[in-house]
Chain A
Amino acid sequence: MKRSKENEIPFVKLFRTPNANYIYDVPQSCMLDVQEDTYRYVESLQKGKEELVIPEEFLELQSQGYLKSESPVKEIKHPYTDVVGFLLERKMSLMTLQLTQQCNFRCKYCVYSEGANVRQRSHSDGTMSFETAKKAVDFLWEHSVESERVSIGFYGGEPLLQFPLVQKIAEYSKKRFRGKEIFFSMTTNGSLLNEEIMDFLEENNVSLLISLDGPREINDKNRVFRDGRGTFDAVARNLELMKKEHPDYWKKIRISMVVDTNNDLDEVAKVVSALGIEAEYLKPSLIDWEYDDIPEIVSDEYYCKQEYHRFLAYLAHWKRYPMEKVSPVLQAVIETAIDKVEQISQKSPLMAYDAPSGPCSPGQLRLLVDIDGNLYPCERVSETSSIAHIGSLDQGFDIEKVRRFLNASCVTRDACIHCWCFRFCNQCGKRADAGGEELSAHAKLKYCDATKHAAIMEIKNYLLLNEIPAYNKEFINKG
């Protein structure tokens, strides 16, 4: 046995399962399957206990460059920082057009609601002119020379309040991008769908995302018309019509379900089976209260059901339980998690100039153009925010602002450099936007616990999916 000369604490995160012990090596961004004594040794170091006997495996790993105590990151600098101007100049691929700020709904949690999200704009009568829309399409044409395909999203308010504008933009875009693959998408509340609109959507293969939160009694708690009436019946009627008249198109539509955790998970999901929607086309999310600084609270009852169905979804994945009996909300969540599992083993080691994962290159992957031609990184940020306002169709991109948004973690430099969650972080500039002129460290750090929790869930999912085939072959073979 060798003896330790110095008890430096490795920059790692420990994980343990009934089958094995793991050390997530932060600088190397990799998961090490280690022996019990190595795990215990590192655990002791982390707890400040003095351990003089160093396991052979620990020394071997150290000799191979693992288990270093320092973060190699010296400065927060996103790898795209120096090239983001080039990417925005030549490689844009998705533009979302805010056709109108009007909506015929007044959903209680809507980011544009007068009563919620006080740091977001409110509904207005503002509408994008065709001239602005054309300018936006031309802007995308000019900035996508290196993209093989482009997408234009129709967004609102409720975009179908401006259906003639949608038609004109689609026609103009197809002409402008003749020869290049172009896709359209639309986020709609579904209440204004009719035969003519459905014909148009199918003919143009518009990727449609319809918002619906559950059966009538749940949906109508939050999703109401301007006069307060529930919206479920109107939307469900249109969905039935689409199912009947456009069966092929119907199979491709996606449902955005904002889950209110005050509701019963089983009840929420009933609408999915009632309408015959495949779980893979369900896009569940939680209510976004970020701009109101309201913490996300999940009731015990909802949490228990959610975790039970998570368990069932795993069983169903290995064919040990009928998938149709699993809540479609969790089916969708688990399938997404399974799709992402390979990403964990593909994470790259930390570098001297690096940035936590999370931010996309603002404007390149998805750019929101508001009714007046102002540019924002995406539709999720506040349009009243100076920080998120990254340019305009007339002036082009404000590259310095883009770089600042991209490097939002600069404001939390010290915390990020020493955080085990560096490569699992999912925070972007939006989280550091407290409404002022500068990004706020305080605002961003509030989300760290939730981010780390999500990372731990992701890692547990990874370990589970790796261990079941490795340690329980019989379990899978019998499935």
Chain B
Amino acid sequence: MKNAIIYPYNATLLPMIRHLEEFQNEYQISQVVSFPGSGLTGKDAGYVCNQPHVGVEVKDSLDMQTSWSTLLLDGTYLKKEGVGSELIEDAVHNHKEILCFESDELNIPAWRKELYRRFSLSVVKGEVGEDEIEEVGVVHENPIPVILVGGLVEQADSLELVCLLTTILRQKGLKVEVITDKPMYRLLGFHDVSTLFSGRYSTVYKGLHKVTV
């Protein structure tokens, strides 16, 4: 498996540390990095959600001494211009693979686009593309049971529960597909429909075209 670094680490990503290896065989998290102002650096990764230690310390820069190959970049959490550029530059110069995830590909701020352009990074394409969305007014009856896991705050708690449910249901021999609006969760094998949550579509006309169950 490839050693990967998550950046910038945030509350939505704690379950990735816990569960990534359960769901796929390509990547394992070897480091988590956040920006200095996050208040997370120097602390255990569990602190982000006020949860028990997971045994991984959040760093404020990439460790080039250890062996790793891939930077998993959660672009949505690069909130401020200028942040991340040095770190990405380091990764590029050291010939690391960079997977860049964005929630709303069409609404990336200009400065982030410029950042990606400067380092020739491309955003990992969403599973449901703009041209694949059909505007429909009827919701069809679905014979397949659907479990919705919601939360007051869509952060780690709901993903943690989704991961646990998925594992349990699969252990029972069921085929489970998970729909998510967080692009980086694609790494868990989940279907990313973040495009639908971009705000460009009214609730009535949101429809899934390509997600097959």
Partners in one complex: yes
Q: Are A90 and B79 CB-contacts (below 8 A) given A179-B37, A179-B38?
A: no
Q: Are A178 and B36 CB-contacts (below 8 A) given A146-B11, A148-B79?
A: yes
Please give, as numbers and ranges, the residues of chain A lying within 8 Å of B38 by CB-CB distance.
145, 179-180
For B40, give the chain A residue with the smallest CB separation. Answer: A145
A68 to B197, CA, bound (A): 42
A109 to B8, CA, bound (A): 49
Q: Does A289 contact B (CB under 8 A)?
A: no
Looking at chain B's contact residues, the main secondary structure is: loop
For A142, give the chain B residue with the smallest CB separation. Answer: B39
A180 to B11, CA, bound (A): 14
A178 to B36, CA, bound (A): 6
Inter-chain contact A176/B36, CB cutoff 8 Å: yes
Type the 1/0 row for B81-94, where 1 means its CB is closer than 8 Å to any CB of A. Answer: 00110000000000
For A86, give the chain B residue with the smallest CB separation. Answer: B50
Please give, as numbers and ranges, the residues of chain A lying within 8 Å of B47 by CB-CB distance.
145
Q: Does B101 contact A (CB under 8 A)?
A: no
Q: Does A177 contact B (CB under 8 A)?
A: yes
For A179, give the chain B residue with the smallest CB separation. Answer: B35
Please give, as numbers and ranges, the residues of chain A lying within 8 Å of B35 by CB-CB distance.
178-180
Inter-chain contact A179/B50, CB cutoff 8 Å: no
A-B CB contact pairs (8 Å), 6 listed: A145-B47, A148-B79, A176-B36, A177-B36, A179-B79, A179-B84
A177 to B83, CA, bound (A): 11
Q: Does B194 contact A (CB under 8 A)?
A: no
Beyond A145-B38, A179-B36, A180-B39, 9 additional pairs, beta carbon < 8 A: A90-B50, A141-B39, A145-B40, A145-B48, A177-B37, A180-B79, A180-B80, A181-B79, A181-B80
Inter-chain contact B37/A182, CB cutoff 8 Å: yes
Q: Does B34 contact A (CB under 8 A)?
A: yes
A181 to B48, CA, bound (A): 17
Type the 1/0 row for A141-159, where 1 means its CB is closer than 8 Å to any CB of B. Answer: 1111110100000000000
**How many residues on chain A are close to B (CB under 8 Å)?**
17
Inter-chain contact A179/B8, CB cutoff 8 Å: yes
Inter-chain contact A179/B34, CB cutoff 8 Å: yes
Please give, as numbers and ranges, the residues of chain B lying within 8 Å of A143 by CB-CB distance.
39
A71 to B50, CA, bound (A): 37
Please give, as numbers and ranges, the residues of chain B lying within 8 Å of A142 by CB-CB distance.
39
Please give, as numbers and ranges, the residues of chain A lying within 8 Å of B36 by CB-CB distance.
175-179
Please give, as numbers and ranges, the residues of chain B lying within 8 Å of A176 by CB-CB distance.
36-37
Within 8 A of A (CB), among B38-76: 38-40, 47-48, 50
Nearest first, the 5 closest Cβ-Cβ pairs linking A and B are A179-B35, A177-B37, A180-B37, A145-B39, A179-B83
- Residues of A bordering B, CB below 8 Å: 86, 90, 141-146, 148, 175-182
Type the 1/0 row for B104-148, where 1 means its CB is closer than 8 Å to any CB of A. Answer: 000000000000000000000000000000000000000000000
Please give, as numbers and ranges, the residues of chain A lying within 8 Å of B48 by CB-CB distance.
145
Inter-chain contact B40/A141, CB cutoff 8 Å: no
Please give, as numbers and ranges, the residues of chain B lying within 8 Å of A141 by CB-CB distance.
37, 39
A178 to B82, CA, bound (A): 9
Within 8 A of A (CB), among B1-19: 8, 11
Shortest Cβ distance from residue B157 to the other chain A in the assembled complex, whole angstroms: 13
Inter-chain contact A178/B11, CB cutoff 8 Å: no
For A173, give the chain B residue with the smallest CB separation. Answer: B37
A146 to B79, CA, bound (A): 14
A431 to B110, CA, bound (A): 48
Please give, as numbers and ranges, the residues of chain B lying within 8 Å of A178 by CB-CB distance.
35-37, 83
A177 to B60, CA, bound (A): 12
Please give, as numbers and ranges, the residues of chain B lying within 8 Å of A179 by CB-CB distance.
8, 34-38, 79-80, 83-84
Please give, as numbers and ranges, the residues of chain A lying within 8 Å of B11 by CB-CB distance.
146
A181 to B81, CA, bound (A): 10
Shortest Cβ distance from residue A323 to the other chain B in the assembled complex, whole angstroms: 32
Please give, as numbers and ranges, the residues of chain B lying within 8 Å of A144 by CB-CB distance.
39
A8 to B38, CA, bound (A): 56
Among A86, A141, A176, A180, the one with the most B-chain Cβ atoms within 10 Å of its Cβ is: A180
A201 to B168, CA, bound (A): 56
Among A176, A177, A179, the one with the most B-chain Cβ atoms within 10 Å of its Cβ is: A179
For A175, give the chain B residue with the smallest CB separation. Answer: B36
Shortest Cβ distance from residue A394 to the other chain B in the assembled complex, whole angstroms: 19
A90 to B83, CA, bound (A): 22
Please give, as numbers and ranges, the residues of chain A lying within 8 Å of B39 by CB-CB distance.
141-145, 180
A148 to B38, CA, bound (A): 8
A178 to B11, CA, bound (A): 18
Type the 1/0 row for B165-208, where 1 means its CB is closer than 8 Å to any CB of A. Answer: 00000000000000000000000000000000000000000000
Please give, as numbers and ranges, the residues of chain A lying within 8 Å of B83 by CB-CB distance.
178-179
Please give, as numbers and ranges, the residues of chain B lying within 8 Å of A86 by CB-CB distance.
50
A146 to B36, CA, bound (A): 14
For B48, give the chain A residue with the smallest CB separation. Answer: A145
Shortest Cβ distance from residue B156 to the other chain A in the assembled complex, whole angstroms: 12
A143 to B38, CA, bound (A): 10
Please give, as numbers and ranges, the residues of chain A lying within 8 Å of B84 by CB-CB distance.
179
A180 to B83, CA, bound (A): 9
Please give, as numbers and ranges, the residues of chain B lying within 8 Å of A175 by CB-CB distance.
36
Among B11, B39, B80, the one with the most A-chain Cβ atoms within 10 Å of its Cβ is: B39
